[in-house]
Structure 1
Amino acid sequence: MKKIIVSIVFVISLIITLLFVDVEMATFDIEFYENKFEEYSIYDKTQIEKKDLIIVTREMLDYMKGNRKNLIIEAKVNGEEEIVFGERERKHMVDVKNLFEKGFMIRNLSLILFIISLFLIIKFYKKTLYKLLISASILPLIIMSIFGIAISIDFNKYFTIFHEILFTNDLWLLNPKTDILIQMLPLDFFYSISIRILTYFILQLIMIFLLGFILRGKEKIRN
């Protein structure tokens, strides 16, 4: 019974830790934003100069990390100094920040559980490690591959479902004609970052599978 519990904790905590780390890596990579701003002509759409928009983006990311108290940020928009984000945008970002705070807590807890379960497996159930690594990679690989195909076919549909599940209000429904937040981060941007997270995750799962396969070979040689 203990072995089953430790194995389940190991597999689930490994998957959750990797996924949340991948979300964090993709979300807080400022170079990714710079590249996408160029690709999607965001500077023209927002009417904010490149250096100013990058500063705004850095401060927005600091806010999401909990390193900034609010999103009252001033910048030159179309040549005039003004507060970049309106009240509705700021309220939505409060919800987003709360989600990330919960995500950081889940990641930290999962990481702790993973380390503890890995220690117990190595100490007491070392021969099953390769099986657990293979098990932890195969099913998520299949699910994420199917999900990647699904969002490639109709990203807008799953983007909407995602927001309806995670948010209890409609503050995420912004006006692309007037709201700079959605001008900065259009649907194409979210599609790109979703693919990036999926790519990170799938590559990691493949590496875990290969590691399990290598350990399986070594175990067979020992036996």
Structure 2
Amino acid sequence: MKRIFISIIFVISLIITILFIDVQISTFDKEFYSNKFDEYNIQGITKIEKDTLMEVTDELLKYMKGKRDDLIIRAEVNGKEEVVFEERERLHMVDVKDLFEKGFIIKNIAIIILIISLFFIIKFYPKILYKLLMISSIVPILILGLFGIAISINFNKYFTIFHEILFTNDLWLLNPKTDILIQMLPLDFFYSISMRILTYFILQLIILFLLGIGLREKHKME
């Protein structure tokens, strides 16, 4: 029973750790934003110069990391200096920041649990480690494969469901004609970053699976 419990804890904490790290890496990659701004012509849509867009993005990411107290950011928009994000946008980002803060906590707890459970497995049940690595990769890959197909067919549907689950208000329903936040980060951007996270996650799961196979072969030779 103890072995089963530790195994389950290990698998869950490993999956959560990898997924949350991938989300964090993708979300705070400023080069990714820069490339997508060019790809989607965000400069033309927002009427904000590329350098200014990147400065605003930098402040936005600082806010999400808790390194900035508010999102009252002034910048030149269409030749006039003004506050970039209106109140509704700023209120929505309060909710987003709260989600990321909880995500950081969950990730850190998962890492600690992963290290502790890995220690016990290596010390007391080293021969089952390869099985756990393979289980940790196979099940999520199958689920995420289906999920990837689903969102590629109708991303808007699942994007809406995602927001309805995570948010208790409708502040996320912004106007693409007037709200710069959604102009900067349109639906295509979220599709791209979702597929990027998914790709990173699946590749890492494949590496885990191969590592599991390697450990299994090593045990056979012993």
**TM-score under structure 2 normalisation?**
1.00
Gapped runs of 5+ residues in structure 2?
none
Distance in 1 (alpha carbons) for counterparts of 2:72 and 2:140: 40
Distance in 2 (alpha carbons) for counterparts of 1:90 and 1:65: 15
**Matches for 1:1-223 after TM superposition, within 5 Å:** 1-222=1-222
Distance in 2 (alpha carbons) for counterparts of 1:17 and 1:25: 12
Distance in 2 (alpha carbons) for counterparts of 1:53 and 1:133: 42
Distance in 2 (alpha carbons) for counterparts of 1:175 and 1:128: 53
* SS in structure 1 of the partner of residue 192 of structure 2: helix
The Cα offsets for residues 9-31 of structure 1, whole Å up to 9 and x where unpaired, read as 00000000000000000000000
* SS in structure 2 of the partner of residue 169 of structure 1: coil
The Cα offsets for residues 61-94 of structure 1, whole Å up to 9 and x where unpaired, read as 0000000000000000000000000000000000
% identical aligned pairs: 72
Residue type of the alignment partner of 1:120? F
Residue type of the alignment partner of 2:40? Y
* SS in structure 1 of the partner of residue 81 of structure 2: strand
**Deviation at residue 2 of structure 1 after TM alignment:** 1.2
Distance in 1 (alpha carbons) for counterparts of 2:127 and 2:6: 14
* SS in structure 1 of the partner of residue 171 of structure 2: coil
Gapped runs of 5+ residues in structure 1?
none
The Cα offsets for residues 152-202 of structure 1, whole Å up to 9 and x where unpaired, read as 000000000000000000000000000000000000000000000000000
Residue type of the alignment partner of 1:93? M
**Deviation at residue 221 of structure 1 after TM alignment:** 1.1
* SS in structure 2 of the partner of residue 76 of structure 1: strand
Name segments (4+ residues, structure 1) moved above 2 Å: none
* SS in structure 2 of the partner of residue 177 of structure 1: coil
- Number of paired residues? 222
Distance in 2 (alpha carbons) for counterparts of 1:4 and 1:53: 51
Residue type of the alignment partner of 1:66? G
**Deviation at residue 205 of structure 1 after TM alignment:** 0.2
**TM-score under structure 1 normalisation?**
0.99
